[in-house]
Structure 1
Amino acid sequence: MFIKDENYFKIKEFERNNITAFFTRKSFFERNTLKDLLPKNKIFISAYQKHTDVVKDISKTENRDYFEGVDGFITKRDDVVLVTKHADCLPIFFYDKKEKVIGMVHSGWKGSFQEIGLKTLNLMEKNYNSLRKNIIIGLGIGISCEKYEVGDEFYENFKSKFSYEIIKKSFKSYDGRKHFDNCEFNKLNFISNGILKKNIIVSKECTFEGDFFSFRRDKNKERNYAVIYFNKKSLVI
């Protein structure tokens, strides 16, 4: 469950495992900067995102804190903070409650089409022996289906790649125009690829309508931040 706070929306299920996971609100930046929210003794990991499907493992041997052309991170390190930037694109939070791995991904329609979420799971499996039954995923906050109008070519591209069941539930029609539900698409794609439905937390907030920066609405460079990090040794639930 996403819980509203003065500065951000945090994910309750992650908090129970001593994982801080949150998405900033627009009003927060009227008074503060992101670093005001972050622990002073941790390394701030971020990237110049390019709507890719590239996910970086911040391993013990990694000594950089900024990456170009990367749209997601995973790590077991408790000395780092993973950060991605969003303005309607979907943030995806990951936590393997057994192997103690966290992840953070920026998934706009390009990332979703390229299945950056599944590539994150694959990397967690490859590098840390994660099992999908043990992974909790938080989806949101992004633009809602009602505010995300798309064209016929967009629809046909997704239709040619993904199953009928996923497409049927991910696209809706409003006043004869097609709209895309990025959150629902990722939820269904995760479930069809081994993530337990009970382990997926979904936000009902919308960046276009809520207290968030929205590129479709504002047409500027302001961004919301999605953040995840270990508080201390986490517990299995």
Structure 2
Amino acid sequence: MFVDKEKYFEIDDFEKFDVEALYTTKDIGNIDTLFKDEEKSGENIYKCFGKKDSVVIYAKQTHTNKVIDIDEKTDKYFYEEVDGFISKRKDVVLMTQYADCLPIFLYDKVNHVIGVCHSGWKGSFQEIGIKTIELMEEKYSSSRENILVALGIGISCEKYEVGVEFYENFKNNFSKEIVENSFKFFEDDNKWHFDNTEFNRLNLIKNGILSENIIVSKECTYKNNRFHSFRRDKNSMRNAGMIFFK
């Protein structure tokens, strides 16, 4: 469950494993100002979330399906062509940024691997969530039945209108069941709408993630003015999705 903590929403299902997974609201401040500066980011993580001596691993949203492992040899902190991270390191805060796209948070309950990835429609089409899981398997021998996944917070289907070519592209590349349940035709605006959260939920289940291990947010970045939304506001302000060991 996503729990409202005012400045951020916390996923309490991860708490029992001493993992903090959260999504910020506007109240936390400007994401770039607080966390992109390597010298100040650790201090601000402590002020905002109470984690001491942290190293912030920060990604600019570029809509790729590239996910990397942050291991003990990693000495780079800001990535422009990466949209997801995994790690076993106890000192890092993995952070990606959003303004309607879907954050996907992951935790391997057995091998103690955390992950987060940025899944806009391009990332979803390229199955970045599955790519993240595959990297967890490759690097840390994770098993899919042991991975906890949280989807959200992002734009709702109601507010995510798309073109016919967009719909047809997904229809030609994914199963009928997934497409029929993640696209809806709204007669009031005569357009297709995309449910990015449901698409990822169904695709994760199809690829071996247990349905009972998937947590879904019902919040919408567009409808709730507490979040930054590019479709609503047409600006460059961003929310942060982050995960770290407590």
**TM-score for the superposition, normalised by structure 1:** 0.94
Q: Does the residue aligned with 1:122 lie in a helix, a strand or coil?
A: helix
The 2-side partners of 1:69 and 1:28 are apart by 25
Instruction: Give a deviation string over 1:182-220, Cα, whole Å, max 9, x none.
Output: 000000000000000000000000000111000000000
User: Partner of 1:199 in structure 2?
Assistant: 213
Q: Which runs of 5+ in 1 are unaligned?
A: 232-237
Q: Does residue 128 of structure 1 match 2:140? A: yes
Cα drift, residue 64 of structure 1: 1.1
TM value normalised by structure 2: 0.91
Report the Cα offset of residue 33 of structure 1: 4.2
AA partner of residue 172 (structure 2): S
Residue 134 of structure 1: how far off its partner (Å): 0.1
Measure, in 1, the Cα distance between the counterparts of 2:59 and 2:117: 11
Identity %, equivalent residues: 57
Which among 190, 195, 199 is matched to residue 181 of structure 1? 195
Could you tell me which of 62, 67, 71 is aligned with 1:50? 62
Counterpart residue number, 2:117: 105
The C-alpha deviation readout for 1:85-144, integer Å capped at 9, x for no partner, is 000000000000000000010000000000000000100000000000000000000000
Alignment of 1:4-15 (within 5 A): 4-15=4-15
String of CA shifts for 1:51-95, please: whole Å, max 9, x gaps. Answer: 000001001111111112000000000010000000000000000
The answer on whether the counterparts of 2:60 and 2:96 sit within 8 Å (CA) in structure 1 is no
Q: Secondary structure at the match of 1:104?
A: strand
In 2, the alpha carbon distance for the partners of 1:126 and 1:53 equals 16
Higher helix share: 2
Instruction: Find the aligned partners of 1:164 and 1:81 in 2 and give their Cα distance.
Output: 38
CA displacement, residues 17-54 of structure 1 (integer Å, 9 cap, x when unaligned)? 11011000113328x94623242401000122210000
Aligned counterpart, 2:41: none
Kindly provide the amino acid, as one letter, of the partner of residue 4 in structure 2. K
201-210 vs 19-28, greater mean Cα deviation = 19-28
Provide Cα deviations, 1:139-196, integer angstroms capped at 9, x if missing partner: 0000000000000000010001000000000001112310000000000000000000
Q: Which residue of 2 aligns with 1:220?
A: 235
Matches within 5 A, 1:33-182: 33=34, 35=44, 36-38=47-49, 39-175=51-187, 176-182=190-196
Q: Take 2:123 and 2:104, find their aligned partners in 1: how far apart are those partners? A: 11
- Give the corresponding residue for 1:18: 18
Matching residue within 213, 216, 223 for 1:209: 223
Stretch deviating more after TM superposition (40-49 or 138-147) = 40-49
Asked if structure 1 preserves the Cα contact closer than 8 Å seen for 2:54 and 2:93, the reply is: yes
CA–CA separation in structure 1 for the residues paired with 2:59 and 2:197: 22
Distance 1:28 1:61 in 2: 31
Higher relative CO (Cα under 8 Å, sequence separation at least 6) belongs to 1
| RMSD of aligned Cα (Å) | 1.3
